[in-house]
Amino acid sequence: MRIGDLAAASQVTAKTIRFYEQAGLLPAPPRTAGGYRDYPPEAMSRLAFIRDAQGADLTLAEIRSVLEIRDSGQAPCGQVTALIDQRLANIEQRMAELRQTRTALRELARRAAATDPETCSQGEICTILTRP
Contact 66, 54 (CB under 8 A): no
pLDDT of residue 121: 78
Please give the Cα distance from 81 to 87 (Å, whole number). Answer: 10
pTM attached to this predicted model: 0.76
- State CA 63 to chain mean position distance: 11
pLDDT band per the 50, 70, 90 thresholds, residue 129:
confident
pLDDT of residue 130: 82
pLDDT of residue 18: 95
pLDDT of residue 24: 93
Q: Residues 19-48: pLDDT tens digits? A: 999 999 999 999 989 989 999 999 999 999
How much of the chain, in percent, has pLDDT values that exceed 90? 80
Q: Residues 104-124: pLDDT tens digits? A: 999 999 999 988 888 877 777
Q: Residues 68-100: pLDDT tens digits? A: 999 999 999 999 999 999 999 999 999 999 999
Looking at the chain, how many residues does it have? 132
